[in-house]
Amino acid sequence: MTALLEHLRSHKTPARWLAALRALVRTDSLWLLVLAAITGVLAGLAVSLITFTTLLAHNLLAPGYKRLSGLEHVAPWRALLVPAIGGLLLGLWHYILQRHNRHRPVDPIEANALHGGRMSLRDSLIVTGQTILSNGCGISLGLEAGFTQIGAAFGSRIGRNLRMHRADVRLLVGCGAAGAIGGAFDAPLAGAFYAFELIIGSYAFPLLAPVACASLCALAVVHLTGETLPAITMTIPQDIPALAYPLLAVLGGISALIGVALMKSAAYAEQIFAVCIKPLWLRPMVGGLLVGGLAIISPTVLSSGHIAMRAGLVSPPLLWAAMGLLLLKAAASTLSIGSGFRGGLFFASLYLGVLTGAAFASVVAPVMDLSLGLCMIAGMCALATAIIGGPLTMILLTLETTHSANLTAAVALTALVASFTVKRIFGYSFATWRFHLRGENIRSGVDVGWMRTLTVGRMMRTELDTLAADTTVATARTNFAGRMPRYIVLHNDQNHYAGLLESNLIQSITIAPDQPLSALVEHDGEVLSPDFSIGHAVAAFERTTRPALAVTDREGHVLGILSERYVLRRYAEELERTRRELAGEKHGK
């Protein structure tokens, strides 16, 4: 620290201070750890402030009672009026943003996957405010979307202000998200691996220290501000029969099916609201009324369901009660997302998993008397894995939340079965499913943005050997005597592309000398566009099984040639560069 103060003292202006700090971070990885800790502190403060503000808003639904999902009864007029008014306010907010042509905010996964960790702090504050409004009026979604959005945005802003390397900015985005989840769930290991599995997209040992530091710092801040919940006290079995494991694997598969059904239902609900209610600003109000109607039946559908989850773990519901609450909570969450409210399914998936496990234990009771606690903990982990993704994250979260380390094998089994089943039958988590619906092919926070900047136009070879398509083989041999190119581009009378010919064909003794070159090429019109990404090029080569393809403009004029060998080499080079950055090799320089 003394070295830092001396370094900054020699620079008199804030701009020079930033430059000095930037130089220190780039030359010594210790200062990256300091920035990660600062990001974690900011994320922890954001979690505490968001939680406090939301609980304060909950008094509108239940004066004097802050945790809505733990209510036994709610006044019907409050249950209908408060979510509807909150939905109207949110709808008007959406309308104002639409009028001002505000672009769609970028979330942490998308930022790391496509934009090198670049996030807008202003847009993130908007998302956080909308999440507070949604959860504050009782809507059946969690606050984790706001937590991770603002935490990651703090990390992104720090990295961008210091003009840090792309990999370092992406790391700080992961640190912000780790701090948000670790602080919100009182689970620092789960927060760290949430960043690795979902935000950064891979695990590397040099990244463990800054990510874990951010998670621990955020947790410390949340504890200091008093915004944590008391520990769960429940009955946990000490021994698990060997025959229980096949049934737990079945529970993992069932949880996966429920998770996929919930994710698809949310997409269908959005389509129904869009068709039935044309004004965008009116949809949240209608959704609020519907969720309020379900809350009259059972207030456990309100808010994220965190207290209801804890109550279910301590006092397990019976079969029909568990199934009824499962359907109500799933319907409320689906309506909340479909009508346009902000929030996530992280908290909700844990509660739904507890209900699934309780119902499963009752169903299999005639076959084997499984512990309710075991099934609920395993179901909580399995369903959260199915919806959110990140099996290791959910295993750690479940064990840290329930303090059930002796159930590690059972919890891991259900999580892995759920994860494998979802990948086989669906292929998406909730976040990546939403990207898919928007037309983005993103499966995690792995940095694939370079694939979109590395275009065919940048990789193609523009030095071409061309001939008219009606040129004979004998003429081509004469023209290229002593210098035979690998590929020859053919063109027609209008100078448009007519085919790509490998030169070894015209050298073959089996080819008649008077045969035109056009007879030697395939006429399927397969070409590349200069704005295609490297991913499009690789797919085209796999589809056509050709070693090279021509690059043309919209009018059909040839611009260049791109070979599969060169594309794969560039692809491998970029992957290696990304791997080195993730491994943090440059921090040791």
Which pLDDT tens digits describe the chain residue by residue (589 residues)?
555 555 545 555 566 766 766 666 666 678 889 999 999 999 999 999 999 999 888 887 777 666 787 788 888 998 999 999 999 999 999 989 888 776 778 889 988 888 888 999 999 999 999 999 999 999 999 999 999 999 999 999 999 888 888 888 999 999 999 999 999 999 999 999 999 999 998 888 888 999 999 999 999 999 999 887 777 777 788 888 888 999 999 999 999 999 999 999 999 999 999 999 999 899 999 999 999 999 999 999 998 888 888 888 888 888 999 999 999 999 999 999 999 999 989 889 999 999 999 999 999 998 888 889 999 999 999 999 999 988 999 999 999 988 888 999 999 999 999 999 999 999 888 888 888 777 777 777 676 666 666 788 888 888 888 888 888 888 888 888 777 788 888 888 888 888 888 878 787 777 888 888 888 887 667 889 888 877 778 888 888 888 888 899 888 888 989 888 888 877 777 666 666 655 544 444 3
Number of C-alpha atoms within 13 angstroms, CB side, residue 437?
15
Pairwise CA distance, residues 33 & 366, whole Å: 54
Gyration radius (Cα) of the chain, Å: 29
Pairwise CA distance, residues 381 & 189, whole Å: 15
pLDDT for 197: 92
Q: Distance of alpha carbon 166 from its chain centroid, rounded?
A: 18
Pairwise CA distance, residues 110 & 117, whole Å: 8
If you count them, how many residues does the chain have?
A: 589
Same-fold call for 14-225 versus 454-574:
no
Pairwise CA distance, residues 347 & 151, whole Å: 17
**What angle, 0 to 180 degrees and rounded to 10, lies between the N-to-C axes of helices 144-161 and 166-185?**
150
Pairwise CA distance, residues 506 & 512, whole Å: 9
Pairwise CA distance, residues 59 & 71, whole Å: 12
DSSP-derived letter for residue 68 is: G
- Report the sign of the C-alpha dihedral through residues 274, 135, 42, 307, in that order: negative
pLDDT for 534: 76
Q: What is the DSSP string of 98-167?
A: HHTTPPPPPPHHHHHHHSTT---HHHHHHHHHHHHHHHHTT-S-BSHHHHHHHHHHHHHHHHHHTT--HH
Kind of pairing between the strands at 497-502 and 487-491: antiparallel
Nearest residue to 556 (alpha-carbon basis) of 490, 501, 497: 497
What six digits make up the tokens of 124?
Answer: 């993130």
Pairwise CA distance, residues 258 & 264, whole Å: 10
Pairwise CA distance, residues 382 & 354, whole Å: 10
pLDDT for 82: 92
Pairwise CA distance, residues 153 & 354, whole Å: 32
| Torsions phi, psi for 502 (to 5 deg) | -80, 135
Pairwise CA distance, residues 374 & 88, whole Å: 42
**Domain residue limits, the chain:** 14-225, 243-442, 454-574
Pairwise CA distance, residues 556 & 495, whole Å: 8
Nearest residue to 232 (alpha-carbon basis) of 384, 73, 350: 350
Which residues contact residue 505 at a Cβ distance below 8 angstroms, ignoring those fewer than 6 apart?
A: 511, 520
| CATH class (in words) of the domain with range 14-225 | mainly alpha
Nearest residue to 112 (alpha-carbon basis) of 173, 52, 185: 173
Angle at 305 between CA 257 and CA 211, to 5 degrees: 80
Question: 172-184 b/e with 16+ CB inside 10 Å = b?
Answer: bbbbbbbbbbbbb
| CATH class (in words) of the domain with range 454-574 | alpha beta
Kind of pairing between the strands at 497-502 and 558-563: unpaired
Conformational region of residue 545, where left means phi above 0, alpha means psi within -120 to 50, and beta covers everything else: left
Which residues contact residue 424 at a Cβ distance below 8 angstroms, ignoring those fewer than 6 apart?
A: none
Conformational region of residue 566, where left means phi above 0, alpha means psi within -120 to 50, and beta covers everything else: alpha
Pairwise CA distance, residues 190 & 381, whole Å: 12
Q: Does domain 243-442 have CATH number 3.40.50.1820?
A: no
Identify each DSSP E strand in 326-451 by its residue range.
none
Residue 273: count of CB within 10 angstroms of its CB: 21
Which residues contact residue 516 at a Cβ distance below 8 angstroms, ignoring those fewer than 6 apart?
A: 469, 470, 471, 472, 473
Pairwise CA distance, residues 446 & 443, whole Å: 8
Residue 102: count of CB within 10 angstroms of its CB: 13
Type of residue at 528: L
Residue 129: count of CB within 10 angstroms of its CB: 17
Nearest residue to 216 (alpha-carbon basis) of 194, 190, 183, 184: 183
What six digits make up the tokens of 579?
Answer: 């791997």
Burial of 522 (0-12, 13-18, 19+ CB in 10 A): exposed
